[in-house]
Every structure is written in C-alpha cells, then in structure tokens.
Amino acid sequence: MKKIIGMTFPRQDTSLGLEPSLLTVLPAGDNVIYSMENIDFDDDEVENYACSVYITGMNEFKEWASRHDREKIIVGGYEPTINPEEFVPFAKKVMVGPCDDWYASINQEGDIIKGITTNKKIPRYDLYDIKNNQQIIPDKQKDDICTSINTSQGCPFKCDFCCSPLMCDKLMSKPLDLIKEEVAYLKQFNPKFVFIRDENFPLQRDWKERLQAISEMGAKIYLFASANLLNEDTVKFMKENNVYMVCLGLEDITVDYAKNKTLDEACNLLHDNDIMVYLSFIVNPLKVRTQEESDDFYSRLLDRFVELKPEMVCGNFLMPFRGTKIWDDYKELVTEEDYNFYNSKSAFLEKDKENRLRMEYEMFYYQWLYYTSSFYQEHVRPFNTEDTLNLRFLELEEQFKSTENPKVLRKELKANVRNKEISSN
Ligand code: B12
C-alpha cells in the first residue's frame, strides 16, 4: 500500500518541540507516517505528501517540493493559508484554514480549497514520539515529560500584528468528549507538564469544564490567556485545577492594547493565587534603531518587569505578516530571504547587519539582566535552578559571549543600565 507522508517545514527543532498540528490532519491507516527528517522520498512509493508549512519553512519547502511529484503534494498550515497562490506551482492542492478530515478535504475540486473540520477523531499521537517534546519553562527539568493539547482554534480579536485570525477568525471549539478522549490517551505517558495550545483558552464559554477534564492528566498546566479575562473567580478556578503558569502578551510596550487595560491587576491576582506569570513582549526593530532609543525602550520595559514581576519573560521581534493590518507599513522591508528569519529572534527589519546584531544581543541581554538581578532572586524566584529556562539562558549567554561585537557592547550596556532600578529595592 502506498504511503501518506506527513512533514513539517521547517523541520522540527528538537530543543523546542511539541506535538505537530499535522497530527490532527493525518488520516487513519497503517500506511500513514510522520517524518521528522524532511528527506527525499521515492515518489513511486507514495500516495500523498501532507506538508505543513510555516513562513520560516517556505524556502526549505520550495526546494524539497521541486524534487518531488507536484501531483502528490498537498500543503496546508499558516503560510499556505495566508499566501496560497505562491504554493500552487509546488502543490496539487493548497488547503487553507483548519482541517481534520483528510479525504473529504482533498477530494474537493480546485487548486486552492478550504480545509474541512468534522471533529470526529483525536490527533494521530501514535505517529509521534512524545520524547521529542521539549519546552523552555520554569521548573521543568530536561527529562520531565511534557505534552500539549488543543481544544479550540481561532481568535476573534484583531490585534494589528497577529496572523492568528487569518487562519481562523472565529472561535471554533472541539467537543468536550473529544478532549476527554485525548486526555485519556495522553495520560498514559504520565506527563509532568501540559501546554494548552489554544490562542486564548478562557475565551471559550465552557473553558472550566475543559480545564477540569485536562487537569485529570495530573500534570502542571500552562496556557495562553488575555488579561481582560482574569478575575478573582477565574484565577481561583485555574489554581484549583493545576494551572501553574499563565502566558500573557505584554506585546509592544509603546502601544496601548484594549486587552491589557487590566494587566497589572491580572498579574497581581495570579501571584496572589500562586500562579506564575509568563510575559511575552514585542520589540519593533524600527523603534530601537539608535542606542538612545534602545536605552529608553529597554529602560521602560525593565520598569514594567519590576512592576509586574513575571517569572518568565520572552522577547519576540516584530514579524509583519501578509494580510495583517501592519503589513502595508512594512512590506517594502521584507525580502524573500527574510522568510527564513521569521523565528521571532531575528531583527530582520533592520537592514544594517551590525545594528541588527546589536538589537538581537540587546533583546537577550535585558532578559538576562532581569533573570540574574537581585530583584528577581529576592522578589520573584531563584533563577539558578537548572530548569530548562535557566539552562537555555546559560546556553544563550555562552553563544553571545563568543561573538566579538557583543563583547564590546556588553561593557557599554552595563554602563547604561548601571543605575537601573532593577537592583533590589
Ligand atoms: C504550539 C505552537 C508551536 C509549537 C508546535 C507547532 C505545531 N503545533 O506544529 C512550537 C513551539 C514547536 C512552535 C514553533 C514555531 N512556531 Co509556532 N505556534 C504554536 C501555536 C501557539 C499553536 C499551534 C497549534 O497547535 N494550533 C492548533 C492547531 C490545531 O492549529 P494549526 O496549527 O493552525 O493547524 C491547523 C491548520 O493550520 C491546518 N494545517 C496545518 N498543517 C497542515 C498541513 C496540511 C497538509 C493540511 C491539509 C492542513 C494543515 O490544519 C490544522 C488542524 O486544524 C501557534 C499560534 C496558534 N495559537 O495557532 C504558533 C504559530 C503557529 N507559530 C508560529 C511560528 C512563526 C513558529 C516558529 C517558526 C518560530 C516562532 N515561534 O516564532 C517555530 C517553528 C515551527 C517548527 N516547525 O519548528 C507562527 C506561525 C506564523 C506563520 N505565518 O508561519 C504562529 C501562528 C504564532 C504567531 N502568531 O506568530 N510553534
């Protein structure tokens, strides 16, 4: 029997892995495999290739596809959804939006078609080794088993930078029974941590029942939420149901977001209930072009950290996506080669190489400064715990240490932040 081969582009990074979304798409059958190698296959032995493509994998996908039979290639995922025409020369079918019914979806007429979701089966977890999962989070030791689950898709909010509403602009929830089936399946691995991959988990009307079902796994739970959905009642319920950390988007501190009006209260509530706070923030390279702008930006950011006391912070450079409100403002700056750098850690909007390097270093440096400050040790938690968060930052510090340019910068930066309030107070 000919094979159906699932692949993700870019290839899964083993230092930051999770069950790939493609497991939801792949159909039942012994002839189905998920390959993490992205090697070349013999077209004669293959019925179809199911390729999930992120923007960072676009160029890698094109190269791979040009060596394979177009008639057998089906693509889907974020980039094909946002930018379908670009895939038509490489794939027989370009599937846009969510999809979990393989045959019903691919049997539709046309080059560019909408995926069909019927919510009848759990993802093909059996095709994937849970040991490939790794997450950089507080308290997780390297070998602790972690897993993830997705209970809804889509987001009705339209933050100007975010590509999630392009995949699905309304909230689509999976039936509770299906969640329970997934939980029962995943429980056999005895995971210590589980990440709920939903855009904004408490946005679902019945999220409490869902959380209760997931807490049956016995693992520490972390999830994305928005500050406006957190109150005494919701946070208390989370704590009672194994939530150990909530991820909130601080986003670009120079912009006002409606969802963040109550961010300070939300962080306090979480801490009062002994739940950790994970804050992701955005750095727009065009706003930190000069050293002066950068000093000002990071000094404001550090002030916010001191106010909100997050246990974990995570910086992401602004990545403009086609189809979002900000795209027109940035499209002239985005080249096809830049697609490879849509990994959140590259300041590719800055075209001067040396300046870009400075920005990338600074984003790391200020997080490092926060984690290693006496403020963090005394008012937040100890940093040197050898959890994956600590180990990752030690690794990054080693990497940055070995490049010439940052060494010089390091000295200058130390001088710039010397008087920052981040020391214990
Ligand atoms: C969990 C997650 C991860 C996990 C695992 C990814 C995964 N599940 O495969 C990890 C941590 C590894 C990860 C890494 C990265 N991620 Co990520 N990740 C997410 C997150 C939070 C959830 C994804 C998810 O599981 N959703 C639920 C599932 C059910 O939906 P889905 O992924 O959209 O999949 C459906 C459809 O896309 C479609 N589909 C998908 N593939 C295919 C293939 C075929 C053939 C078909 C027919 C259909 C189809 O059907 C699926 C089921 O309905 C999203 C944001 C979000 N909430 O969606 C970001 C997101 C998908 N990630 C993103 C990015 C950029 C990355 C990285 C490149 C780096 C980064 N973080 O910046 C890396 C590289 C990925 C890799 N292969 O290594 C972007 C994608 C942007 C883009 N336009 O390409 C998102 C949208 C975040 C964002 N807003 O920037 N990520």
Q: Is 156 a residue whose pLDDT tops 90?
A: no
**Considering only CA atoms, which residue is closest to atom 51 of ligand 1?**
98
Mean of all residue pLDDT scores within the chain: 92
Residue 301 pLDDT: 94
Distance 21 CA to ligand 1 centre (A): 7
Contacts of 122 (CB under 8 A, 6+ apart): 178, 181, 182, 185
Task: Give 41 Cα–ligand 1 centroid separation in angstroms.
Answer: 24
Res 422: pLDDT: 52
Given this model, what pLDDT does residue 158 score?
79
Condensed to tens digits (0 to 9), the pLDDT of residues 325-354 reads: 999 999 999 998 999 999 999 999 999 999
Q: Are strands 146-149 and 276-283 parallel, antiparallel or unpaired?
A: unpaired
- pLDDT average, residue stretch 81-94: 97
* Residue of 409 and 145 predicted with greater confidence: 145
Q: Specify whether the backbone of 257 is left (phi greater than 0), alpha (psi in -120 to 50) or beta.
A: beta
Atom 53, ligand 1: residue with shortest CA distance: 98
**Three-state secondary structure along 336-376?**
CHHHHHCCCCCCCCCCCHHHHHHHHHHHHHHHHHHHHCHHH
Atom 6, ligand 1: residue with shortest CA distance: 20
Kindly give the number of the ligand 1 atom that is closest to the alpha carbon of 81.
37
Name the nearest CA neighbour of 92 among 78, 112, 77: 112
Confidence class for position 127, pLDDT limits 50, 70, 90: very high
pLDDT at position 105: 98
In angstroms, what CA-CA distances link 151 with 128, 173, 176, 247? 19, 6, 8, 16
In this predicted model, what pLDDT tens digit does every residue of 276-316 receive, in sequence order? 999 999 999 999 999 899 989 999 999 999 999 999 999 99
Q: Burial of 386 by CB count in 10 Å (0-12 exposed, 13-18 middle, 19+ buried)? A: exposed
Task: Give the Å distance between the CA of 224 and the centre of ligand 1.
Answer: 14
321 Cα–ligand 1 center, Å: 14
Contact criterion met (CB below 8 Å) for 124 and 102:
no
| Tokens (6 digits) for 71 | 């008639």
Decide if pLDDT at 418 tops 50: no
Query: Is the model's pLDDT at 413 over the cut of 50?
Result: no
The residue whose C-alpha atom lies closest to atom 62 belonging to ligand 1 is: 54
Nearest-CA residue for ligand 1 atom 57 is 199
Residue 253's nearest CA partner among 191, 193, 300 is 300
Q: Is the CB of residue 5 less than 8 Å from the CB of residue 33? A: yes
pLDDT (tens digit per residue) in 247-272: 999 999 999 888 889 999 999 999 99
Q: For residue 89, is pLDDT > 50?
A: yes
Binning pLDDT at 50, 70 and 90, where does residue 169 land? confident
Give the pocket of ligand 1 (CB within 6 Å). 8, 10, 12-13, 16-18, 20-22, 24-25, 50-52, 54-56, 74-79, 82, 95, 98-100, 115, 150, 153, 162-164, 167, 197, 199, 321, 342-344
Contacts of 14 (CB under 8 A, 6+ apart): 132, 134
Pairing of strands 112-114, 220-224: unpaired
Shortest-distance Cα residue to atom 63 of ligand 1: 54
Q: How do residues 185-237 score in pLDDT, each as one tens digit?
A: 999 999 999 999 999 999 999 999 999 999 999 999 999 999 999 999 999 99
pLDDT tens for 363-397 read 999 999 999 999 999 999 999 999 999 999 999 99
pLDDT band at 414 (very low <50, low <70, confident <90, very high): low
CA distance linking residue 157 with residue 286, whole number of Å: 25
Phi, psi of 152 (to 5 degrees): -150, 160
Kindly report, residue by residue over 115-124, the tens digit of the pLDDT. Answer: 999 999 999 9
How many percent of the chain have pLDDT more than 70?
95
Tokens read off for 89: 């020369």
- Tell me: pLDDT of 104 over 80: yes
